[in-house]
């Protein structure tokens, strides 16, 4: 085998690896964005229908779908330009090695404890709040437009931020790692039909940010004092403090730890069935 052939093989491997890496990060960001997930499913349905129509000879529907396939990409770029731009921005902001700081067990427990303590006070006092926890997808675009804080997380600080008449009361707090990065952050509101019409801007903003990222949103209703968590495009309403604690602990657990727990569960099931 000559040097040229070896270099050619290496180039092909690098080329294929880069293509798969790009596809992986695109699909990962599409999965974290509910709107683009629905768009992706819609495109797949159109392609399948076109294939079926050509296969069984449906002339009229095949012709219509041909126009859709021909002009669809241009229409999608125009209609979904904000979502596509967000995905490209997230690709640029997402860190290849994941979260900027992987919290230890003690740090995660303290983070959850401080949030739960503050949420407990806020719900009893009927003070509205929106707390967003950054995970792998960077929220730096929203942090840049908000009031920078960069302080150690504490329940007292969270409570003071959301206290009535505070200028930052109406915005959201963003937590990175175990620190409060900013307050007064403004997020896009969700237009999902799944969200109840009685929910206001705070709940819609909580759902809106988790539709385009993998963040976790904790909401306290100013009217009812009820607590909600928005994660992975879904809103879980009227949660107890124990529910909030367990959901946060579960969602903040590193992926490697999740895999280890799954393996342990499988081993336990295997041992029980022996």
Name the domain count of the chain.
2
Place of tokens 């209703």: 221
Alpha helices in 125-254 (DSSP H): 140-144, 155-162, 201-211, 241-252
Residue 267 covered by a domain: no
Residue that terminates a domain, selected from 93, 117, 132? 93
Q: Average the pLDDT over 240-246 and give the result.
A: 95
Q: How far apart are CA 137 and CA 159, in angstroms?
A: 26
User: Are 116 and 218 members of one domain?
Assistant: yes
State both tokens at 247: 């959901």
Q: Tell me how crowded residue 201 is: count the other CB atoms within 10 A of its CB.
A: 14
User: Are 77 and 133 members of one domain?
Assistant: no
Q: Tell me, what's the pLDDT at 209?
A: 92
Q: Which of 204, 203, 163, 170 is nearest to 185 (CA)?
A: 170
Q: How far apart are CA 181 and CA 140, in angstroms?
A: 9
User: Are 111 and 192 members of one domain?
Assistant: yes
Q: Tell me, what's the pLDDT at 98?
A: 41
User: Are 133 and 185 members of one domain?
Assistant: yes
Residue 63 covered by a domain: yes
User: Are 39 and 140 members of one domain?
Assistant: no
Q: Tell me, what's the pLDDT at 173?
A: 96
Residue 78 contacts by C-beta under 8 Å, 6 or more apart in sequence? none
User: Are 162 and 243 members of one domain?
Assistant: yes
User: Are 129 and 227 members of one domain?
Assistant: yes
Q: Tell me, what's the pLDDT at 270?
A: 44
Q: What CATH number should be reported for the domain holding residue 123? A: 3.40.1700.10
Q: Are 158 and 113 in contact (CB under 8 A)?
A: no
Q: How far apart are CA 122 and CA 237, in angstroms?
A: 16
Q: How far apart are CA 39 and CA 116, in angstroms?
A: 36
Per-residue confidence band for 75, with pLDDT thresholds at 50, 70 and 90: confident
Q: Average the pLDDT over 118-130 and give the result.
A: 95
Q: Nearest 5 degrees, angle CA 209-CA 184-CA 177?
A: 65
What's the domain range around 215? Answer: 105-256
Residue 271 covered by a domain: no
Q: Tell me, what's the pLDDT at 99?
A: 44
Q: Tell me, what's the pLDDT at 104?
A: 83
Coil, helix or strand for 5? helix
User: Are 115 and 250 members of one domain?
Assistant: yes
Q: How far apart are CA 161 and CA 118, in angstroms?
A: 11
User: Are 118 and 47 members of one domain?
Assistant: no
User: Are 143 and 214 members of one domain?
Assistant: yes
Max mean pLDDT among 165-174, 194-203, 214-223, 259-268 falls in 214-223
């Amino acid at each position: 085998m000559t040097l040229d052939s070896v270099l050619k093989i290496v180039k092909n491997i690098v080329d294929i690896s880069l293509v798969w890496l790009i596809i992986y990060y695109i699909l990962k960001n599409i999965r974290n964005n509910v709107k683009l997930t629905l768009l992706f499913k819609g495109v797949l349905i159109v392609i399948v229908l076109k294939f079926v129509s050509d296969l069984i000879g449906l002339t009229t529907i095949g012709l219509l779908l041909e126009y859709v396939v021909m002009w669809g990409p241009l229409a999608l770029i125009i209609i979904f330009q904000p979502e596509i731009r967000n995905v490209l921005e997230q690709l640029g902001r997402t860190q290849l090695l994941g979260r900027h700081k992987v919290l230890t067990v003690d740090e995660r427990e303290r983070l959850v404890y401080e949030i739960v303590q503050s949420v407990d006070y806020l719900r009893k006092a009927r003070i509205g709040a929106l707390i967003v926890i950054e995970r792998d997808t960077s929220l730096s675009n929203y942090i840049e437009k908000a009031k920078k804080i960069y302080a150690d997380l504490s329940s007292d600080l969270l409570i003071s931020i959301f206290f009535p008449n505070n200028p930052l009361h109406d915005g959201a707090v963003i937590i990175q790692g175990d620190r409060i990065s900013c307050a007064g952050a403004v997020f896009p509101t969700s237009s999902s039909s799944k969200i109840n019409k009685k929910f206001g801007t705070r709940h819609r903003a909580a759902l809106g940010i988790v539709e385009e990222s993998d963040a976790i949103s904790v909401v306290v209703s100013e009217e009812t004092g009820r607590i909600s968590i928005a994660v992975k495009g879904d809103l879980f309403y009227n949660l107890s403090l124990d529910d909030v604690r367990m959901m946060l602990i579960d969602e903040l657990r590193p992926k490697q730890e999740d895999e280890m727990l799954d393996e342990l569960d499988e081993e336990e099931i295997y041992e029980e069935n022996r």
